Chain A
Amino acid sequence: MTPAIEERMGLFSELVEAVEADAVHIREGLDMHQFCAYWGAHEIFGYIDDCVCLVHGTAGCMSNRRFLLPFGGADQCHMEPQYTTAFSEHDVIFGGERKLAEAVALVQERHDPRLIAVITNCCADIIGDDVGGVVRGMQREGQRVVWLHTAGFTGKSYRKGSEEAFRVLAGLMAEAPAKPVVPGTINLFPRRWIWGENQKREAAEGIRMLEKLGLRVNSILRKGIPYEEFLDLRTAEANVSQCFYWSMALFEEMATRFGTKSIKASNPIGLTASLAWMDATARAMNLDVDLHDDPEVAELLDLRERVRARLGGGRKAVIWTQTGEKLIGLAKFARDVGLDPIVVGVDPAVVRDKVSMFRKEVNDGFDVPLYLSNYVEEIQELVNSLGDPVVLCNEDYFPGHAVFRYQWNDQQAYGLAGARSLYAEMLTTVERRRSRYSLLGEVV
């Protein structure tokens, strides 16, 4: 490493501390991965089959959502009904309250869903429409109408929006007629923002891991979950997630309201993390399970040894990801296969937004070297200075290097089956250098 590069090196825990101490100048609006509270809330309500989302405000937010891949536009038509009051200038001046009441009535007339979720975007919240005042009391027999103020301009992040939606939904669970908890059952919150066959594979793997422990899955939070089934999540003894920090707010609410056990294991990526995920789940459920003699685990240990041998122990890995869960998951995965990771391109805004998650990980002993960079050229400089690292990223900026692409939309990544898939991909990665004559290289 050159002195200039060394100057930019630090520890991830130092960045977390600096963000906590408000010592980092964070430029607002640069966190392109996070969106705003509207998106977070819309995603959560969008999971429920018998829920119609009604967006109060301008139409653009809802329209964009229909075309964004993570929300279901990748391989199928977006068929779930959703409505917007589609503000015009007229509505901004005179208020959109009457239009909102009409829209709720229209949704009732056309769909009469079990749940109507009214969420606002910036326009409605700037003019201060009294959303609660309008919709309160509009619900019909057997129906609930809930609302959230989710305007992004207030600074509420995507995470905040999803948390608030989860809290509203937990409130609905509490209002439902009481049901007994069934011991030995567990809810699975699988990997999100994937679709199609891979989504099914990941969920099936989550179920298989839990069943391997002798647990019975009560329910899976998935797109299209019926409203009643969602309410019945409360009948499980515990909740576990493949991405804990996303589901944390609902876990907390359910722990408080129903005593549901909250398992904090997350990101079962690679064998070490997958076994840790299963071990944490088993302990929380008071199960004594030893997987060391499991033939599948033994097979994966062998495979991992081959990967480690092929990679060479202590080889550097450069991990480039902005999102927090992936940063932690990939750093752990790199160590799982014997790599020595450095994370790059970490957006302090992401750290701030998810600081409680990072703080917990740091407290639990997680840390990783961090390289501060502003531009891709600086990351390229680091990669070149490391000799022959493995680069874990989803871009093609590193011709001539071994690049492990983690764009896993179509690749199984979680659990034991995911570990097998990732190890295979890693072996391929080492054999296959990125072309030095990539389009990007030519353009540059």
Chain B
Amino acid sequence: MRHIAIYGKGGIGKSTLSSNLSAAIAEQGLTVMQIGCDPKADSTKNLTGGRKIASVLSLAERYGIAKLELEQVVTRGFNDVYCVEAGGPEPGIGCAGRGVISVMDCLKELDVFDELKIDVVLYDVLGDVVCGGFAVPLRAGYADQVYEVTSGEMMALYAANNIARALNRFGQRGKVRLGGLICNQRNAFMEREAVEALAASLGSRVTAFVPRDNVVQECEMQGKTVVEGAPDSAQANVYRSVAHTILTNEAYSIPTPLTDDEFEELLVRVKAEGLAA
């Protein structure tokens, strides 16, 4: 069983990428579970016809977490991808990080991975919230491979470097490794160069460049992944290709994150090279 975590800055396209990867991996005949670790609880929406499923924490609030059954917390979506949403409290109250911990404990207690004979688990994790709860998928017993979604924009790159810091720590304690960076292209200035430069500095590589394509929004408006809504499109093939790359990837590393000063220098250098060119 593979446990793959997708981390990245909020709004960078993690859920879009995760749900398309889940759909593409499931196309290959593998049993996939996608776990959304974001209080918004909309990671799997495009796998379930555009409707948000009940999150584990919303069910826990109603029934008590110890009383939840597997059938309640897992919803079967497109291509038979099993969908789980952690959920969380309302903004500004409680502790969403503790919620993630609690949900992971619940899934373990229910033995969902073995019960459902899961081949690939995809964790879609909010990456710019840096408390310990959101790092749970990085800890022992959960994800062993991490992909960081970024664009060429500064804040997305900054978040990627930050996540690399956590990975550096957890990687030294356990088996979790960085599989690479996935660039969700925004057509920013010197985007490819900036993402490649950061990946190299981290001691990793760019796993894929995902081009920007309006078909993604069109499918999302129908509540579908691109793999489902536009299966013959070039974009669907991009996701299939990324899925294949991830499943066959053998290059993992414990990243070497940059200090804030080094990070600034890297961006300045890339920008200067772009201007000179």
| Residues of chain A at the chain B interface (Cβ within 8 Å) | 89-95, 97, 126-127, 129-130
Contact = CB atoms under 8 A, between A and B. Distances in A.
B175 interface: no
Contacts of A130: 93
Given A94-B94, A127-B98, 12 more contacts: A89-B102, A90-B64, A92-B95, A93-B60, A93-B98, A94-B57, A94-B61, A94-B93, A95-B89, A95-B95, A127-B94, A129-B93
B99 interface: yes
Interface size class of B (residues with CB under 8 A): 10 to 19
A129 B89 CA distance: 12
Given A89-B102, A90-B60, A127 B65 contact: no
B65 A95 contact: no
A126 B132 CA distance: 13
Contacts of B94: 91-95, 127
B104 interface: no
B131 to A, nearest CB: 11
A90 B89 CA distance: 10
Interface string B47-64: 000000000010011001
Interface string B89-111: 11001111011001000000000
18 contacts: A89-B65, A89-B102, A90-B61, A90-B64, A92-B95, A92-B98, A93-B60, A93-B88, A93-B89, A93-B95, A93-B96, A93-B99, A94-B90, A94-B93, A95-B94, A97-B93, A127-B95, A129-B93
Max chain B CB contacts within 10 Å: which of A92, A94, A126, A129? A94
> Residue among B64, B89, B94, B102 with the most chain A CB within 10 A?
B94
Contacts of A129: 93
B58 to A, nearest CB: 10
Contacts of B99: 93-94
B115 to A, nearest CB: 23
Nearest to B66: A89
B9 to A, nearest CB: 23
A435 B61 CA distance: 62
Contacts of A95: 89-90, 93-95
Contacts of B96: 93
A93 B88 CA distance: 7
B212 to A, nearest CB: 36
A95 B98 CA distance: 11
A127 B102 CA distance: 15
B170 to A, nearest CB: 22
A69 B102 CA distance: 37
Nearest to B103: A93
A12 B41 CA distance: 61
Contacts of B102: 89, 93
Q: Of B57, B89, B96, which is in contact with the most chain A CB atoms at under 10 Å from its CB?
A: B89
A128 B61 CA distance: 20
Given A89-B98, A127-B94, A127-B95, A94 B65 contact: no
Nearest to B64: A90
B60 to A, nearest CB: 7
Contacts of B64: 90
A130 to B, nearest CB: 8
Interface in B221-270: none
B200 to A, nearest CB: 39
A90 B65 CA distance: 8
A9 B95 CA distance: 50
A94 B60 CA distance: 11
A72 B65 CA distance: 38
A93 B86 CA distance: 12
Nearest to A127: B95
